[in-house]
A and B are shown apart, each in its own frame.
Chain A
């Protein structure tokens, strides 16, 4: 039988963060404590394109900390793009770990479809 599930993406996997950065042509993420204007955050820091401060992935909580001054210090689109790259890479990594084959396809609306074939052709 079949079903559909909607998921709000959480960033919890360092390998997928690295793969996501690589996919977008960003510098590899670095572990540490980062200054975000008036506060600091610890985790995996990702420098998005044209962002003043890094976004910091707290892998324990799945949350991302950042200060982009309501878009003036970094476009929210860049963050969305990173979230998408992360989710695609995480799905592919996990599917391959399970031994499944994976296919990726770019859709017209900007979405990316990852098709996982389970247990070979029936």
Chain B
């Protein structure tokens, strides 16, 4: 199941976490929320994202 979780802290700042997406769909799927909520202060890619990026780089260099 693909979900986007938005945790809104008691001071109003938010953390958006995507789960269950394939490829770079997570960025695309959550873009509307990031644009709606405010200014992005940091981004952390989960391990599987790095894995996909590395595979893409390898394919590109082949």
Contacts and interface: CB of A to CB of B under 8 A. Distances in A.
B58 to A, nearest CB: 16
Contact of B3 (A10, A107, A116): A116
Interface string B17-60: 11111111111011011101111111111101101100000000
Interface residues of A, number: 42
Nearest to A121: B1
Contacts of A10: 37-39
Nearest to B5: A115
Interface string A33-62: 000000000000000000000000000001
A122 B34 contact: no
The B interface is mostly helix, strand or loop, or mixed, namely: mixed
B37 A83 contact: no
A94 B14 contact: no
A1 B22 contact: yes
A24 interface: no
A78 to B, nearest CB: 12
Interface residues of B, number: 47
A97 B16 CA distance: 18
Given A1-B26, A3-B43, A112 B8 contact: yes
Contacts of B6: 87-88, 91, 113-116
B5 A88 contact: no
B18 A90 contact: no
A19 B25 CA distance: 30
Nearest to B14: A7
B61 interface: no
A9 B12 CA distance: 6
B10 to A, nearest CB: 4
